[in-house]
Amino acid sequence: MNILPIEKQVAVIQMLCEGLYIRSVNRLTGVHRDTIGQLLLKVGAGCAALQDRMFFGLSTEQIQIDELWAFIGKNQRRLKPTDAPERGDAYTFIALDAVGKA
């Protein structure tokens, strides 16, 4: 049984989160598109389970979603291999109840 190394799994998910298409990730990583799809389904199921455990009893009519971008120390594109791993781009994702303002 072949198991994709965790480093490769993380790289694939990062690329998908950045907005790359499955076929693009396939070309860049060499991971077969069916494997990428299976990994995507597995991660999606995990995210759904986490949300089901953490978010319950909510009654909202409309949700507005946004993201804030910032950087720590310096911009990601200016990082050097010797820079601390904590530096670079930082994102904060926000979801608000547009009607109830909660």
pLDDT tens column, 23-64: 999 999 999 999 999 999 999 999 999 989 998 888 888 888
Q: Within this chain, do residues 15 and 43 fall inside the same structural domain, yes or no? A: yes
Q: Within this chain, do residues 42 and 68 fall inside the same structural domain, yes or no? A: no
CB 25 within 8 A of CB 36: yes
Q: Which residues constitute the domain of residue 85?
A: 63-97
41 lies in a domain? yes
DSSP symbol at 76: G
pLDDT at 56: 82
3-class secondary-structure state, position 24 = helix
Q: Answer with the one of 22, 37, 54 that is the final residue of a domain.
A: 54
Structural element, H or E, at residue 69: strand 63-72
C-alpha–C-alpha distance, residues 81 and 92, integer Å:
24
Q: Within this chain, do residues 35 and 69 fall inside the same structural domain, yes or no? A: no
What is the model's pTM?
0.59
| Residue tagged 């791993």 (tokens) | 85
| Residue tagged 């291999």 (tokens) | 81
Work out the average pLDDT over 3-20. Answer: 93
Does the pLDDT value for residue 101 go beyond 70? no
